Chains A and B, each alone.
Chain A
């Protein structure tokens, strides 16, 4: 399978550090084809970056080993992805326990693995994954956040989520507790589909549904990622901004 990627990250206008982390495969790096990751770390001085990088690296390392490719059925893949996030959780939790400078660190972790006609999305925290098909945008993940719970309980309207004073409180994270409960989603994808993974620094400034028509396939994802990231910066850039775009390309056989 072939993919096109675009990505963007920026520390924003306010923060000194970029505690987000992203991963997409380098060109021609087939071991990780179809894998894309974002993570948004939190913690004291430097600890946030350590948490997000450690999580991303943990997932990447396991894909390096090619473990995922050997799994045949969906349930095995889902169980494996849960194991992966639990493993990343354990690694960060242990690092934080051993090192007082890192105490309390944690991270969101949202990654997608496109494998054949299926895309698996593993998710903890308030980063998001969207599916864009023919300029229709649907949100795949559900935030593990206080405001999302308030919306679910009918306490606030969805449109009020983004201005709520407690919008940055998350209810699940990787590395802050001994245990973690990830969500695993499985969706079907076809050539032309784009997955967008992003951190809340992007979501808070850009309503992606306003840019649906940008995904009509005419623009390269490199350019699109840059333009969308710039929109979030222009919209305020209060937090670190990170996004990854991954498009499923039609199979080879045709020379461009």
Chain B
């Protein structure tokens, strides 16, 4: 397909990705000269009304939405039976690849990315659209770090009550982010997206998925049956506030989750502000810490009801084999449960997580489970503040005889650390140095300075001072030298890479790039620039470039320039707008230059640097010529 031009406008350049139902191409929009991403529905699926409808729905959803954290859709169309959506081209990677590459993300980045996804969802939910397939594979990370949510492929209006089917491929990737209701094929709503975002947060901070399995069915069953366990399984110290957000977003019951994405945003913002404090008193359903934690107890009879009420669906067919096994297992489990409870002896139960809780919450929770809390002592800690449990013995998920004691150590406050030197570090490096020491960035103020942009030039607490963990440090950061005006160089005639290097060397950035046909300059050569050479422009401003695509496939005409009245040394240059068509000392009396274009194109002719008139040539449009 590369090389094909859809509806005479979008030239497909190379495939850059794709899901089960469509292939995404990088493409050139000939009308604007911009790079775009064009998603084309697989031709074999275009036969199926269901897929065409789904594709149309995505197109509708994405053209409705306009948000900086959502991939923009520009255009929708169909060319010779191929349905396509034209979208913003995002240069960067996916969140999935980022997590895979880094293993796990730090807490700051996790929360900031989570917030951007949440803002995108808030915009969608406010427009009555739910995404239904939030997963890191669908989250694009621009080179600048901005997050863009893509693929509203199975998005649907909130009002729609249709039950999801599992048709289509790509399910294995998605199933890890499926909420219980989604796995069961039940009605989904905006809280389904909230659950998936909770799983994405979990994956960012731990580098793991909460549920793994050999098959999609196995993973789906776990989502239905099991609570998402504490992230501490994988990462020793997850800030309590973030843990609370993940916990609340991934409740199996929709009613226990955030009821509104805006509430989740508020909690994420609070977590970013105070990661080491539990989020309290903000829960919408009046759930205290203790009540929330009760749902960590092992599987109970409620699940039984849920499973038996399951409506048949395509998923149901897949589950049909698994369910009898589960039912048998549950019956055995319930029987054992009953027998041991009646006898009241020898029964061992899993110890709940109490690390990160206050003594009161932990006591209440342990009492419910038939354990007692034994405080072994107090210690300073770098993650948990005063009164919070730092460690427990036995560990969570180990079993203990009913009536047994759970030993804990309580934090007597944050431990002290010596303030590191932050001056001359980049802002990122400083934040990392602080985080490594359990400290945090407070206010940052930018000011002009001779040192590089984003370099720390002052810290509010000086190096070597002893401070409590969790202390915030204000930073003064350089915004770079005062902006100066610089002289624009001549980049025309160079290869693209050399031009880029020259532009950077001159203190500018490469701006928009237009690729156009040229009969006189070979592919890859710069044939136009804006601002022109010798202009002055602000440092770091952008230089727009026109780059040759080589000769036009639609043929060329000849532009004739009469130079007989000039001396042999006439220096001729011909432009069409900013685009250089010819430059040289022709040393002939009549200069013939091959040119190509569309419609009427006007050429400006200069001889020895002076304007020497214009000429207009009219080209037939390629369609008419065929």
Contact = CB atoms under 8 A, between A and B. Distances in A.
Instruction: Determine if chain A interacts with chain B.
Output: yes
A38 B584 CA distance: 24
B333 interface: no
A100 B501 contact: no
B485 to A, nearest CB: 16
B498 A23 contact: yes
B498 A99 contact: no
Interface stretch (B124-132, B366-374, B486-494, B592-600): B486-494
Interface in A185-216: none
B66 interface: no
Most A-side CB within 10 Å, residue of B494, B497, B505: B505
Interface string A26-51: 10000000000000000000000110
A21 B584 contact: no
B484 interface: no
B101 interface: yes
B505 A101 contact: no
A22 B501 contact: yes
Contacts of B502: 9-11, 18
Interface in B581-620: 584-585, 587
B585 A102 contact: yes
A102 B569 CA distance: 11
B506 interface: yes
Interface in A233-249: 241
B501 A7 contact: yes
A99 B584 contact: yes
A53 interface: yes
Contact of A229 (B101, B505, B522, B569): B505
Interface string A66-110: 000000000000000000000000000000001111100000000
By DSSP majority rule, is chain A's interface helix, strand, loop, or mixed? Answer: mixed
Given A21-B494, A23-B495, A53-B493, A10 B506 contact: yes
B495 A57 contact: yes
Interface string B489-516: 1100111011001100110000000000
Nearest to B569: A100
A18 B493 CA distance: 12
Contact of A21 (B101, B490, B498, B506): B498
Nearest to B571: A101
Given A23-B495, A53-B493, A9 B501 contact: yes
Most buried by B among A21, A24, A256: A21
Contacts of B587: 98-100
Contacts of B569: 100-101
A53 B494 contact: yes
Interface string B557-599: 0000000000011010000000000001101000000000000
Contacts of A22: 497-498, 501
A101 B609 CA distance: 14
Interface in A1-27: 7-11, 17-18, 21-24, 26
A101 B497 contact: no
A241 B493 CA distance: 19
Contacts of B571: 101
Among A9, A17, A23, A49, residue most surrounded by chain B Cβ atoms (within 10 Å)? A9
Contacts of B490: 17
Contacts of B495: 23, 53, 56-57, 60
A17 B587 CA distance: 25
Nearest to B501: A9
B585 A9 contact: no
B505 A26 contact: no
B494 A99 contact: no
A37 to B, nearest CB: 10
Contacts of B497: 7, 22-24, 26
Across the A-B interface, the 9 shortest Cβ-Cβ residue pairs: A10-B505, A101-B585, A9-B501, A99-B585, A9-B505, A18-B502, A7-B501, A100-B569, A9-B502
20 contacts: A7-B497, A9-B502, A9-B505, A10-B502, A11-B489, A17-B489, A18-B505, A21-B494, A22-B498, A22-B501, A49-B493, A49-B494, A53-B495, A53-B498, A57-B495, A100-B569, A100-B585, A102-B585, A229-B505, A256-B101
Given A22-B501, A26-B497, A101-B584, 13 more contacts: A7-B497, A18-B489, A22-B498, A23-B497, A23-B498, A24-B497, A53-B494, A56-B495, A60-B495, A99-B585, A100-B585, A101-B585, A241-B505
